[in-house]
Structure 1
């Protein structure tokens, strides 16, 4: 198997490429991916060896041509396949000059054309006698899976990835599962589950590091270093940043919780799959992986179904900013989802529209102010975000049956 690096700035395009081609049929293992040239060079350093590069040309920052030149300088035997949305003669001419395997036109390329380019790259590599990786993707997954059971735990860790310096300060195990009430994911080739695994892996490994694999296409398992990439060494952590409990490995760092919230949000938004997850305490030895895994299973939420976390986050934002001029667009931006998506999910979960929910809560707050203060009606109107007191009085009467003054005098 030859290791492949895919460089493409659009995540949805990378996801499409990953499942457009049966890579292993062509003797290729999808080893790493990057969104620009700088990330790609870093991936080549940390994910060695990389044998084949499939790269877009037009990308922000360092483009594909500039990246290819640097990659060839550092790794002369690497095989490069260019892809581009532009059928540009200048690009093609430069690709040929660099000795690229092929220049593919993205709008028209198909699996057969990509496969032919991969076979050509493999032939070139065989002539250079480059060493091939020891594991296929499935063999790697099975090996990592064996670490979770004390009865199958190997005598010695064989994957070089397990010797990452980031694991020296400890590790946690995180398990992701589809929520009980989420839509079923069964399909012939487990493609939807693979999409879920890939999306989770893309976010957690890029932001934090570690290794991602799956268990029987039922759950995604993340072996994560105790600290994120930016805090790999304990010395870089600010004193008390994670609290005293974290010293004993009992507390999940706030930044890890934030990352997991983002992963849950993105899987729901991009794949329409609701997931739950559980994080273990911090452990110092890989031999403790079976114990860590059992801990995560015991902590997984059961039958979690009501108020998904996007709605909870939006309701929390509304509560914090109730006295301001709230809008669907503003709340959606605060939790990084589209206004139309938030509107749909809000109606589904709460049973009323976003605007009705906000108005109801504003009126309830106005009722409290009318009961407990001597503020004038126009002052209360302004206090809850309505600059027009006549509009406020109309809304108030529609929902309570009486005017603000009549309510106060009851």
Structure 2
């Protein structure tokens, strides 16, 4: 999917030349708007929400630095490149502070423009992946009740502004007549994802399909998109190509979070009421039954709701006890096998605690439904305990680390920036943050800040004719000799050698 570009440039001929070059020569970008002044550029930014802005520094009404500052102040998730014919390090310093990703110096060649656009598109792909991950995390946090607070709600409203959300559910990954196995699960998920995404985007360019669980997606569409066409086409395409049935229901507008949660819960409760308890005489292939259980348990683990997992196990135990003993044992064996497979995947046990071949005789020896239920409850409690320990080890507290990184990005030019200052801002103990930061980023706090400054210096060396001493000051180094030494240590070339090979 191409990225969108807004051109903010007061010279008509140069602006027209940029537009023609980008639209005719770039495979990754398309120009969606133009503006002659910074003020007009700001209004067009709000209206069009471009992925990238190419903006001149010197324009009437509002210059490029002022526009960059306004974009930064409003927290807009937009890349921008500064176009300039000036090598004034004060402009460059301000542009870097407000988040400029690159500089385009006039006069510029086609190669210069192509290089800038290629670099920007790599950043855009990274940002899209991050936004996709953030949206999926928010959906799981809210709809699956992982956590809910005002900050998450506000973030949700920003990311899904002006959208309606549809729930798309796969009714069965293992339909009759198809020999799909466990190894096919993610391939099927990927195929269904691509078909629905392509059909929805063909009707709404802003449509986004997000993975909620193994068997459920959320489709975010603009409020104007009609429902009948994409639903019918998606259901037909998935059934025709994969033999799998899907259901689509409207949860509601993104602005009504409580309604979304209620609609999602109502749908799943209704779905559960129509699900038939598996019996031995159903003829269901054991492997498929185990995979279905595994998918359900993994979905609950992904949701992070340990109580929901306990409730699920308790419900299954009750069902097993209410069935004829043979059928109850079959239900328990399927769940026990699924838990063992999940344990292997997650590394919950040093080795498989109950190998599959030993489960059958163990369960077969249980004399009655009460003993069966108690055995299953003990097995589930053991699984829950080890899962809880695994989650404590595996959870990297990335939210805190991301907050720290965001704060560093904002304040790395402050001469007094310290791990203590960052820790106080995100409400963590400085010593704990220091240890956690090193564990998750692979860098010490000081090393990370230094590396960030050097990356900013590379941008200026590659795209400006500023003196090395000026670049040194711009990115926050006090001594140019020390700057050159650190630069060479990191990149194995001196700043001047790096510039020569730009």
TM over 0.5: no
Q: Which structure has the greater CA radius of gyration?
A: 2
Q: Of Structure 1 and Structure 2, which has the larger fraction of its residues in helix?
A: 2
| TM-score, normalization by structure 2 | 0.26
| TM-score, normalization by structure 1 | 0.30
